[in-house]
Amino acid sequence: MSTSRRIFLWTLSVLALLAAGGFIIGCSISAPRYAGPRSDHFDGKQFQNAGGVHAQEGLRPMLRWMLHREKGPFPEQPAAPYGPKPPARVSGGQLRVTFVNHGTFLLQVDGLNILTDPIWSERTSPYQWIGPKRLRPPGLRFEDLPKIDVVLISHNHYDHLDVGTLRRLVARDQPRIFAGLGVAQFLTEEKIPNATDLEWWQQVPLSAQVKLNCVPAQHFSGRGLRDRDATLWAGYVLQTSAGNLYYAGDTGYGQFFAEIGRRFAPMRLAILPIGAYRPQWFMAPIHISPAEAVQAHLDVQARQSVATHFGTFQLADDGLTEPVTDLRRALQEKSVPDSTFLVLKEGVGWTAQP
């Protein structure tokens, strides 16, 4: 056998082993699939967005994106300061909001401390040695968090369901955790207790004053190769004495925003994503652009909105400052005052005016 043929066969064997290893790992990290009755957005095997909208699938669009990426600058900010320690509780009809990072907010209202999609890990990945890396520290030290009563998980992607952070919260505070259909089983298998599955438009009481509503979003789910769209993605509306609060999670744009507005207006505050939207041909089904975030703000009839899902991990091609720059441009084009759609500094608490 010639040397060139031996090299070819050796290379082919290595590639085959790598592919087999990747397949085995991809299957092993998949979450369990939801098993329940069919609905207008669940066919018995997979969940679906309204109107059949779905994320880009298959190797071809992924390769097209990877081979033609135009990533904006996203410099690391390792020295970004932590914010001050929040108060232990907020009551008396007040609402205090702290943007921690990415999709993580501390919401303090009616004596409850609520965290959305908490992530304090260094990477959004099943392994902390590979995957998208944190480019700035969280806005709050984990140790400075008040006791957390409730955690809201919008979907099971690694940047929104971070097992390491949830384990720390459970060990310290034992909070109640709410997520879309099917996610509770995964959390139970990961030794994370007190999780409850919710269906779109389902309501549960959190206290005598606060009700939690699970609402639709337009996204997808999956943690490995065998669980694509096997659990439900969602947003949440909290009905409180300070007004209705909407956390959109990760989502593309759809008519459900207007329906949420019809059901829950007036909305005191909406937390809407503005990042990970470029290139739009690839991202639009699953991530709203800043311009679409402004339209969603109008659709849900929010008195004020707050930006989320930007500034920590570069998950798409938009750079560090592009989401905010494009948001300001979109607000101007829609004649919406900047003060109506806030960009909070990480770690600095904001108290809503009555």
Assess if residue 60 is contained within a domain: no
Residue 81 inside a domain? The answer is: no
**CA 39/CA 270 separation, integer angstroms:** 28
What is the pLDDT of the chain when averaged over all its residues? 93
pTM of the model: 0.93
Q: Report pLDDT digits (tens) over 35-54.
A: 999 999 999 999 999 999 99
The residues facing 350 across adjacent strands are 97
Strand partners, 27: none
pLDDT digits (tens, 9 = 90+) for 84-114: 999 999 999 999 999 999 999 999 999 999 9
Q: What is the pLDDT of residue 293?
A: 98
Residue 350: is its pLDDT beyond 50?
Answer: yes
276 touches 287 (CB < 8 A): yes
Distance separating alpha carbons of residues 99 and 349, to the nearest angstrom:
7
Mean pLDDT within 124-139: 94
Residues with Cβ within 8 Å of residue 194, at least 6 apart in sequence: 170, 174, 175, 176, 177
Q: pLDDT tens-digit profile of 170-188? A: 999 999 999 999 999 999 9
Buried b / exposed e across 163-172, counting CB within 10 Å, b at 16+? Answer: bebbebbbee
3-state secondary structure of 176: strand
**Residue 86: inside a domain:** no
Residue 17 lies in a domain: no
CATH classification of the domain holding 323: 3.60.15.10
Q: What is the structure's pLDDT at 180?
A: 98
Q: For the ranges 21-25, 133-137, 241-245, which has the lowest average pLDDT?
A: 21-25
Number of domains in the chain: 1
108 within a domain of the structure (yes/no): yes
DSSP output for 213-247? EEE-------SSSS-TT-S---EEEEEETTEEEEE
Q: By percentage, how much of the chain surpasses pLDDT 70?
A: 92
CA proximity to 90, closest of 60, 111, 105:
111
pLDDT at 27 > cutoff 90: no
The answer to whether residue 120 is domain-embedded is yes
User: 288-310 pLDDT, tens per residue?
Assistant: 999 999 999 999 999 999 999 99
Residue 79 included in any domain: no
pLDDT tens-digit series, residues 224-234: 999 999 999 99
Instruction: Assess if residue 74 is contained within a domain.
Output: no
Confidence of residue 58 (pLDDT cuts 50, 70, 90): confident
Range of the domain at 229: 95-351
